[in-house]
Chain A
Amino acid sequence: MIRSLDLILVAAMICGAVWTFSIKHQAEQSAEEVARLQKLIQAEKEKINLLRADWALLNQPARLQKLAETHAEELQLKPLKSTQIAKEGELPAIRPPEDPENDPIGDLVETKSEKDPLTTGSTRVADE
């Protein structure tokens, strides 16, 4: 009776110790994983930052103007004149479609808005 109780208690203690240790080990592993992911996130953030800098550089009005001027002839670009601007109220009324049954653009808009097949997934950087 006593022996068996002892054995149970010892077994329980060993189990408890093993369990505690494994939890500790798991926690350490998780912490490592967190740190690793944190590093990855940091690296990603830095990359995003760099790309944003690149984006800002590429979208500088000064650069765009130069590009527009260089390709003005080729693309037939001209600066906007104030006389070319009109408000929506100044536009003539829209002509109704000649054949409401056959409206390819309208159909396209409807099918598009029903379901957007594009899905985005999370990305993961390959371990370096």
Chain B
Amino acid sequence: MKKAFLKGLMGRSKPQSLTLSSSRKARNEQAAARILLVMAGVVLVYAIIAGRLIYYGFSDPKTGSIHRLADRSTSATRPELVDRNGETLAMDIKMASLFAEPHIIVDADEAIELLSTVLPDIEFKSVHKKLTSKAKFVWLKRELTPKQQSRILALGIPGIGFRTENRRFYPGGPTAAHILGQVNVDNVGISGIEKYVDDNGLADLHAAGFARKRELEPVKLAVDLRVQHFIRDALSEAMKRYKAVAAAGIVLNAHTGEIVGMSSLPDYNPNEKTDLRKEKDKFNRISGGVFEMGSTFKAFTTAMALDSGKVSLKSRFDARKPIRIGRFRINDFHGKKRILSVPEVFIYSSNIGTAKMADVVGIDGHQEFLTRIGLLSRLEGFELPEVARPTQPKVWKKVNSITISYGHGISTTPLQTAAAAAALVNGGMLIPPTLFPRTRDEAQRLGKQVVSSATSDKMRYLMRLNVLKGSGKRANVEGFRVGGKTGTAEKVVNGRYSRAKRFNAFLSAFPVDDPQYVVLVIVDEPKPEEGKYYATAGMNAAPTVARIVERSAPLLGVDPTFEPAANAILSSY
């Protein structure tokens, strides 16, 4: 083939002279070699192209070019927030906003007339003014529904257009407001979990330009939307019924530290931008507020005394006379004026008895214990940015130890109080609270033993006893065995404890023989219910807990039991 080809090439040219024939021959040969080279090159190039084609044929289709073609959204994308059952708590929805370019509008009157067929609520005057102005760009209406958008498109008015924007939508409105937080106009989290999500990676993604295109994985919280609603519903009812200025509640998983629900009233609707710096009463009272928790602290004092080994359930304390220290006189609210056993001190909520229990442990031991169960230091590692720092006296004196034993003189957050209470009833493990799902094993690794399990058993007994016989009677829910401690604290008004203004709390756990959940409810400045005379915690905070437990327990997988065995715990002491 090669020879024939070469011959063909040479045969084409006629030899003109013999003298030149040898050099011509050499030239011809050279040309033939060049042609061969070129052909080889062409064949090689095509072979490469063919090879690449085969390679592409077998490889997976790349999506690179598709990204370029797909349309881009304008504002920042945020991950969806879902509750523990996958129900949506917060999501992005695309909203179209209508704008106009007045210099392109031909006939403003006609444009408005057409628009008003779709948007009947637009005001003729103001829109007319906008459309005839000299501005290059005016917003006509923000956040249209997709239906409105397509109808306006169909009108075909020149000079108007749409811009789609991501808008954060909270289907529950205020239901989980304080947990979720808020975003600003640029869809950036400024409080709550929204801010946490941003601080933990989302902001970096946005900076790198990834989050716009990629579908972000939903973020799952430990919260149960239904329980969250029950808490808020019970609290708002309590606010109304007892004419309180504020109320807050939390349901905490006693074994994992997961917050199943937490609500603080008054709250806000995250769908409307609320400036919480201006509306100060709408802050998150559960983690962002510190309070003197009052008599609920007696649970901690009692646990401390029992755990020290110096006090047993059979110990007795003289509560006949008030304690005098300096200019203070400590008395009992429900005074029995006799010698009380430890369970009696607990259920009658004796200040004198509790102060004497704290005295057995001593001032240093008292401070050390409250620090150990995490009530005195700022909560570390919690997801919400709104975390308040507890306050305590600079120097603990005897009088401080006495007042702190029944919950006055130090302030702490309800969240920490609930977490510490979980430690008292779950066998003694202090587990840091979290808003994200956590298994028991993870919780075991994170937790630390703060009281013995024997102390925990005794505390459960005391808390149940208090509901059956003491101040927490109204917290009882048939079958779910609630145990708890009431707290009626006097609020400090102008530097003095006020008799009229109270801060009530009920700290509880259910089912008390193996507590799964801790429930804490606080009611700020409740007034007596109509037809009743008292506004103590047993009258308002306790029944609010009952309402929460009654509705939540069946959904949280707690089975009611009606056998007398549930009360066996009581007879064992």
- Asked whether A108 is an interface residue with its Cβ less than 8 Å from the other chain, the reply is no
Cβ contacts B556-571/A at 8 Å (1 or 0 each): 0001101000000000
Contact in complex: B71, A49 (CB < 8 Å)? no
- Asked whether B393 is an interface residue with its Cβ less than 8 Å from the other chain, the reply is no
Contact in complex: A82, B87 (CB < 8 Å)? no
Cβ contacts A49-87/B at 8 Å (1 or 0 each): 110110011011110010000000000000111110101
Contact in complex: B91, A85 (CB < 8 Å)? no
Closest-by-CB residue of B relative to A59 is B87
Closest-by-CB residue of B relative to A34 is B66
Cβ contacts B158-187/A at 8 Å (1 or 0 each): 000000000001011101000000000000
Contact in complex: A82, B553 (CB < 8 Å)? yes
A52 to chain B, nearest CB (A): 7
Which residues of A have CB within 8 Å of B8?
1-2
Contact in complex: B550, A82 (CB < 8 Å)? yes
B residues 115-172 in Cβ contact with A at 8 Å: 146, 150, 169, 171-172
Contact in complex: B175, A80 (CB < 8 Å)? no
Q: In the complex where A38-B66, A50-B146, A62-B172 touch, is A56 in contact with B87 (Cβ < 8 A)?
A: yes
Partner of B70, one of A39, A52, A65: A39
Closest-by-CB residue of B relative to A32 is B69
Contact in complex: A87, B559 (CB < 8 Å)? yes
- Asked whether B13 is an interface residue with its Cβ less than 8 Å from the other chain, the reply is no
Which residues of A have CB within 8 Å of B71?
39, 42
Contact in complex: B146, A47 (CB < 8 Å)? yes
Contact in complex: A83, B229 (CB < 8 Å)? no
B73 to chain A, nearest CB (A): 9
- Asked whether B392 is an interface residue with its Cβ less than 8 Å from the other chain, the reply is no
Closest-by-CB residue of B relative to A49 is B93
A18 to chain B, nearest CB (A): 16
Contact in complex: B479, A85 (CB < 8 Å)? yes
Which residues of A have CB within 8 Å of B173?
60, 62
Which residues of B have CB within 8 Å of A2?
8, 12
- Asked whether B41 is an interface residue with its Cβ less than 8 Å from the other chain, the reply is no
Contact in complex: A50, B93 (CB < 8 Å)? yes
A58 to chain B, nearest CB (A): 9
B residues 62-106 in Cβ contact with A at 8 Å: 65-66, 69-71, 87-88, 91-94
Q: How far is the CA of A87 from the CA of B94 in the complex (A)?
A: 45
Partner of A49, one of B94, B171, B226: B94
Q: How far is the CA of A1 from the CA of B12 in the complex (A)?
A: 12
- Asked whether A35 is an interface residue with its Cβ less than 8 Å from the other chain, the reply is yes
Which residues of B have CB within 8 Å of A7?
none
Q: How far is the CA of A100 from the CA of B175 in the complex (A)?
A: 52
- Asked whether A8 is an interface residue with its Cβ less than 8 Å from the other chain, the reply is no
Which residues of A have CB within 8 Å of B65?
31
B residues 506-560 in Cβ contact with A at 8 Å: 550-551, 553-554, 559-560
Q: How far is the CA of A35 from the CA of B67 in the complex (A)?
A: 9
Which residues of B have CB within 8 Å of A80?
554
B525 to chain A, nearest CB (A): 25
Contact in complex: B554, A82 (CB < 8 Å)? yes
Q: In the complex where A35-B66, A42-B70, A85-B560 touch, is A60 in contact with B94 (Cβ < 8 A)?
A: no
Contact in complex: B479, A65 (CB < 8 Å)? no
B78 to chain A, nearest CB (A): 13
Which residues of A have CB within 8 Å of B478?
81-83
Contact in complex: A53, B169 (CB < 8 Å)? yes
Closest-by-CB residue of B relative to A41 is B70
Closest-by-CB residue of A relative to B88 is A56
Cβ contacts A10-46/B at 8 Å (1 or 0 each): 0000000000000000000001001100110010001
Which residues of B have CB within 8 Å of A82?
477-480, 550, 553-554, 560
- Asked whether B345 is an interface residue with its Cβ less than 8 Å from the other chain, the reply is no
Q: How far is the CA of A60 from the CA of B230 in the complex (A)?
A: 12
Contact in complex: A60, B171 (CB < 8 Å)? yes
Closest-by-CB residue of A relative to B82 is A56
- Asked whether B225 is an interface residue with its Cβ less than 8 Å from the other chain, the reply is yes
Q: In the complex where A2-B8, A50-B146, A65-B233 touch, is A57 in contact with B171 (Cβ < 8 A)?
A: yes
Which residues of A have CB within 8 Å of B66?
34-35, 38
Contact in complex: A83, B169 (CB < 8 Å)? no
A60 to chain B, nearest CB (A): 6
A75 to chain B, nearest CB (A): 19
Contact in complex: B146, A62 (CB < 8 Å)? no
A44 to chain B, nearest CB (A): 12
Partner of A62, one of B175, B554, B559: B175
Q: How far is the CA of A61 from the CA of B555 in the complex (A)?
A: 13
Closest-by-CB residue of B relative to A62 is B229
Q: How far is the CA of A78 from the CA of B431 in the complex (A)?
A: 38
Contact in complex: B70, A56 (CB < 8 Å)? no
Q: How far is the CA of A121 from the CA of B499 in the complex (A)?
A: 71
Cβ contacts B1-13/A at 8 Å (1 or 0 each): 0000000100010
Q: In the complex where A59-B87, A83-B479 touch, is A38 in contact with B69 (Cβ < 8 A)?
A: yes
Q: How far is the CA of A39 from the CA of B477 in the complex (A)?
A: 55
Which residues of B have CB within 8 Å of A52?
88, 91
Q: How far is the CA of A39 from the CA of B69 in the complex (A)?
A: 9
Q: In the complex where A38-B66, A42-B71, A60-B175 touch, is A53 in contact with B93 (Cβ < 8 A)?
A: yes
A54 to chain B, nearest CB (A): 9
Contact in complex: A53, B175 (CB < 8 Å)? no
B residues 227-245 in Cβ contact with A at 8 Å: 229-230, 232-233
Contact in complex: A56, B69 (CB < 8 Å)? no
B50 to chain A, nearest CB (A): 11
Which residues of A have CB within 8 Å of B233?
62, 65
Q: How far is the CA of A81 from the CA of B91 in the complex (A)?
A: 34
Q: How far is the CA of A26 from the CA of B77 in the complex (A)?
A: 35
Partner of A65, one of B87, B229, B560: B229
Q: How far is the CA of A128 from the CA of B12 in the complex (A)?
A: 65
B residues 216-265 in Cβ contact with A at 8 Å: 225-226, 229-230, 232-233
Q: How far is the CA of A38 from the CA of B559 in the complex (A)?
A: 50
Q: What would be 13 A-B contacts, judged by CB atoms less than 8 Å apart?
A: A1-B8, A46-B146, A47-B146, A50-B93, A53-B169, A56-B91, A61-B225, A61-B226, A61-B229, A65-B229, A65-B233, A80-B554, A85-B560
Q: Enumerate the 6 nearest inter-chain pairs by beta-carbon distance, A residue then B residue, closest first.
A: A56-B171, A61-B229, A35-B69, A82-B479, A56-B88, A82-B560
What would 10 more interface pairs be, CB under 8 Å, given A61-B230, A62-B233, A83-B478?
Answer: A2-B8, A38-B70, A42-B70, A42-B71, A49-B91, A52-B91, A56-B88, A56-B91, A62-B232, A82-B553
